[in-house]
Structure 1
C-alpha cells in the first residue's frame, strides 16, 4: 500500500509538470548516486550557452555512449537545472548525459536556438575526444520543442556543418513528443518564434528527410498527447523516414501524454511506461 500511495501522490504532483514546483519535486525525489555531475560548462559565450554533464558511475559495456538532451518549453522557457532528473536517469543506464540550455524567444528566434543546440553537440563531441573516449557514440535527444531541436540537428546538415561537423558524427537521435511537421502554425505563442508570417518549409524536420544518410531515430510519443498532434507529427515523420528507408523505431505509449512521457524517465514514475528502458536499449545498441 505505501508504494501505491507514493505512486498516486507522485502522479498527482506531476499533473502540472509544466510548473517549476512539480519539477522541483521530481528532482528532489530522483537524486541518486548513479552519476558524478559536472555543472555549468560553457559551450559558448552567452550565459545560456551552458550544459551539465552527468557521468555514470557504472558505464555501459563497450564504447562510451553520450546523450545531449534538450528540454521543451515552446522555445520560450526552460532551464537545464529543472531537468536534472533526466541527466540522473540517463546516467543510471550507463550513458553519459548532457543537459543543455539554449537561447530562447524573445531574445532569439528561429533558427538561432538551433545554432546553440549544434554548438552544444559539437562541445560534447570535443569533450568526449578530450576524455580519451575513442569510438564513443554520440546521440541528441529532446522532449517537445527540444525534440524538434534534436530532430533538426540530426536531419538538417546546416547546423552541425556550421560547427565543422557532419551528421555522421551522430550515432542516433531520440525524439519525445516532438513537433516535426507543424506548418501552418496553430499555437499563437509559437508564431513569432518562427518569424510569422514568414515561416519557411525548411524549418520542418520532415522537409529534410530524403535520400542520403541519416542517423537512426527513436520516436517516442504518448497516445494521450493533447498538445502535439501525434498523427501529424510523430507518425508522419516515422512514415517519411520509413519511406526513404532510414532506420527508425516508433513507440506509442498507451498510458502517457505530452508531459508524463518525459516524467516517466524519473525513477518514481517509471511504472507509467518503459520510456527509459526503451531509450537505454536504443543507445546501447549503437
Structure 2
C-alpha cells in the first residue's frame, strides 16, 4: 500500500514548516526538541549495558499504566538513530522514546560503535547484540516477546534492515530475524554502492566494501512484515533507489510491505515529525508507525 500525504505549501503552514526546519538545523536542534518533550509521560531506565564496550549501552522507555493496551500486551520497539554511522547518541532521541512509550510501546534505544573508530560491520554487530538483549528482556520489561520490532532512521534504518533481512548478524549472537514481528525503516539507505558520501566511505572502508553489506541484497521471502517511510524530496538518501527498490523487491518475494511517502517533509523532519513539539510540521509520521506495531494510531 502506497500512501501520499501532501500538504499545502502556502500561508501559515509554509511559515510554520520553515520555522520547524530552522529549528531542526540549528546549533542544538535535538536539545531544543528534547527540552520541549514531556518527561512525565513514560517510565525510564537508563545506561544499561548490553555488552562490555563503552558504546554498548542502552536506555529503556516504558509506558505508564494509563497508556497500556486494554489487553495488557505491549509491543517493544528497538530504535536505531541515524548519523551516517559517524555521530549520534541514544540520549538525543528522548523524543522518539517519549512518542512511542507514551502511547503504549516499550522502547529500547541503544548506542553503537561509530566510525571512524569502528567500521562496518561493528555497528551492525552492536545493533544485533542490542536487539538480542531486547528480545531476551522483553517479558521482564512488560512487553510481549512476540511483538518485538526493529526501527531506524537514516543510517539507523540501515542497521534495522540488516538485522531484519540478513540472518548472519542475529544468528551470531543466538537470535534470528524470525523473532521480529516486523521492521520499520525511515529514509534508510538500502542500496548505496558505489559510496559517494565521505563519512560513509570511511564507515564502510570504501572501496573495499563487500557487496553483501547492502540490505537490498538480502531482501527475500524470509523478511518480516515491513513498514517503509520516506520523504519524496529527500536530498540525502534517494527515496526511489532505496525505499522504492526495497519495497518492490520485498513485495515481489511475497512480503507484506506498507509504504508511506511524504511530500512535505525532508530527510531530517521525517524523524522530527514524531516529536510532540514538531507534529505540526507535516506528515503525519507517527500514526502509521503506531498502527503497524498494533497501537491506536491517534496523533
* TM tier, smaller: over 0.9
Normalising by the residue count of structure 1, what TM-score does the alignment of the two structures yield? 0.92
Counterpart Cα distance in 2 of 1:59 and 1:98:
17
Moved beyond 6 Å, runs of 4+: 4-7
1:196-211 mapped onto 2 (5 Å cutoff): 196-210=206-220
Which of 168, 187, 192 is residue 202 of structure 2 equivalent to?
192
Give 1:33 shift: 2.1
Cross-structure match for 2:253? 244
Deviations 1:158-183 (A, max 9, x none): 01101101111100010001100111
* 1:164 corresponds to 2:171: no
Give 1:135 shift: 4.7
Deviations 1:207-230 (A, max 9, x none): 0012x4211110000112111111
1:54-133 mapped onto 2 (5 Å cutoff): 54-57=61-64, 58-62=67-71, 63-131=73-141, 133=143
Q: Which runs of 5+ in 2 are unaligned?
A: 1-10
Which of 146, 149, 158 is residue 159 of structure 2 equivalent to?
149
* 1:213 corresponds to 2:214: no
Counterpart Cα distance in 1 of 2:261 and 2:113:
30
Report 1 or 2 for greater relative contact order, CA contacts < 8 Å, sequence distance ≥ 6.
2
Number of equivalenced pairs: 281
**1:157 to 1:18, Cα distance in 2 relative to 1, 3 A:** farther
- Residues 55-64 or 8-17, more deviating: 8-17
Give the secondary-structure state (helix, strand or coil) at the position aligned to 2:170.
helix
Cross-structure match for 2:3? none
Give 1:5 shift: 8.6
Normalising by the residue count of structure 2, what TM-score does the alignment of the two structures yield? 0.88
Give 1:202 shift: 0.5
Give 1:20 shift: 5.7
Please provide the CA RMSD for this pair.
2.1
Cross-structure match for 2:235? 226
**1:5 to 1:235, Cα distance in 2 relative to 1, 3 A:** closer
